[in-house]
């Protein structure tokens, strides 16, 4: 595939809405499922749209019996995602709340286990990002908000889930190419993504003796609602053009990483990071 510029567009709020994007991101799995996640229950944060939606639908197609997902306030996207999960034959449980609030994370896990009787896969995926041209513009309120969503939320959700995870369970964290390269205008966001790489490696060591694997995915420039919600229209139109493949990736090009890390196909992997980023070589 070659470079495919996006139309000029922007959204004035975060999180962005998939409903408002043009073209819409491609979430549809490209292949039939083969039962790699038969009977498993997953909880995905930020599962209403973008990479989270694509991962949810892909896991449902691979035989997961239920997908619970948390989202902030994108109700239309969440309703659509629930329908897509159910179309694949799995049950869906949308839950609205802020993962930066530890009480909500505890409640989301409680609802999931109460409804489905188990929890096998946790995907920490929700995130936010805000541009600043200079560090002097980065106010304490934004710094705290970005870390609360992108780091605290991952800690809170993992802490709440751990009592329910058993031998063979998987935790998958979304980090970013910016954890390895940095980003001139996404200073606090990049710092949070670096923290998640370290969190992944630390938790992998802490949980290996319990048989719980912890890995991560570090996407590059992917066409998700976070992009028009974060950047000006000119940047959005060029999104992904600097990658070696000269285009933005689609969520369904990232979702297979989550299925792989959740399944027994990755049974000899923990503490690792996969890099669907359009060909950019990054350090480990």
Name the residues annotated as catalytic.
Answer: 189
Please tell me the number of Cα atoms within 13 Å of 147 on its side-chain side: 11
Answer for the pair 44, 56: CB distance below 8 angstroms, yes or no.
Answer: yes
Q: Is 267 exposed, middle or buried (0-12, 13-18, 19+ CB in 10 A)?
A: exposed
Tell whether omega for the bond before 42 is within 30 degrees of 0, i.e. cis: no
Tell whether omega for the bond before 23 is within 30 degrees of 0, i.e. cis: yes
* 283 token code pair: 């350090």
Sequence-separated (6 or more) residues with CB below 8 Å from residue 173: 123, 124, 125, 154, 196, 199, 200, 214, 215, 216, 217
């Amino acid at each position: 595939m070659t470079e495919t510029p996006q139309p000029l567009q922007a959204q004035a709020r975060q999180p962005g809405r998939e409903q408002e994007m043009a073209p819409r991101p491609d979430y549809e799995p490209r292949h039939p499922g083969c039962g790699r996640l038969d009977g498993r229950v997953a909880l995905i944060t930020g599962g209403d749209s973008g990479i989270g939606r694509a991962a949810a639908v892909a896991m449902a197609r691979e035989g997961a019996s239920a997908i619970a997902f948390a989202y902030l306030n994108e109700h239309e996207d969440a309703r659509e995602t629930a329908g897509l999960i159910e179309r694949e034959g799995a049950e869906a449980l949308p839950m609205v709340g802020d993962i930066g609030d530890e009480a909500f994370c505890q409640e989301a896990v409680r609802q999931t286990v109460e409804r489905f009787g188990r929890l096998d896969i946790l995907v920490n995926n929700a995130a936010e990002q805000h541009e600043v041209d200079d560090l002097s513009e980065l106010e304490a309120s934004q710094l705290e908000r970005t870390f609360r969503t992108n780091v605290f939320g991952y800690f809170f959700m993992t802490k709440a889930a751990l009592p329910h995870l058993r031998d063979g369970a998987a935790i998958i964290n979304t980090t970013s190419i910016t954890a390895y390269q940095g980003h001139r205008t996404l200073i606090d966001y990049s710092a949070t993504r670096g923290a998640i790489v370290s969190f992944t490696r630390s938790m992998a060591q802490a949980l290996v003796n319990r048989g719980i694997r912890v890995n991560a995915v570090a996407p590059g420039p992917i066409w998700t609602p976070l992009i028009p919600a974060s950047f000006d229209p000119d940047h959005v139109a060029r999104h992904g053009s600097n990658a070696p493949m000269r285009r933005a990736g689609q969520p369904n090009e990232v979702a297979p990483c989550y299925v792989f890390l959740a399944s027994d196909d990755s049974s000899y992997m923990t503490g690792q990071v996969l890099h669907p980023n359009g060909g950019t070589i990054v350090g480990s």
